[in-house]
Structure 1
Amino acid sequence: MSPREAWVETQLLHSFMRHARPTLHAAGPLIVIVVAMLYRHVETLGLALRAAAALAVTVLRYGILHVYRRRLADADGTVLRLFMARYAWAWPLRHHLG
């Protein structure tokens, strides 16, 4: 990867992490809305399990963002790429990191 490509990737990763929080703020209310809409129309246990999984992923993502903001908000490309390679599974990223 050229230095320019590494710089661009670093900027994209920082941008992604800076803008992920607002989408997470919407996740909680959306989970409640979906459960309310589907309640009594689908099997309750399955709905509860899906809602719990969605909530768990949301909480996990908040945790990852917390680590990023405390330790990596000003990180260089190498450290940031390693961090994202470790936690990319928590988001549907299709970009191969590292």
Structure 2
Amino acid sequence: MKEILSAVNHCHSVGMVQWDLRPENILFEKDSPDARLKMFGLKQSQLKGPNEKLTKFTGNSYFTVPEVISGSYDNKCDIWSLGILLYVMLCCWVPYKAKSEQS
């Protein structure tokens, strides 16, 4: 989790919002006990200016803050996704279930 937090912190320091953090976008660089993690899926990320709200959404709603789905969010959405990601890493399932993205 520390490496993931470090990567997200770097993205935020240059104004990048990942907003699509999920297990499929985090992989080990090689098959080795000392392998580092790599974050993928950055093509979905967006650059934002100070106090700018973003509106794009095409992600996975299990890991996405409701503000992203409603179309008005900033880099704090990644913090929500990190919490869901950590929960999934510890428990092996998402903390909530829905019949659809709308419910």
TM-score where L is the length of structure 2: 0.32
Structure number, greater radius of gyration: 1
Structure number with the higher strand fraction is 2
Relative CO higher for 1 or 2, CA cutoff 8 Å, sep ≥ 6?
1
Structure number with the higher helix fraction is 1
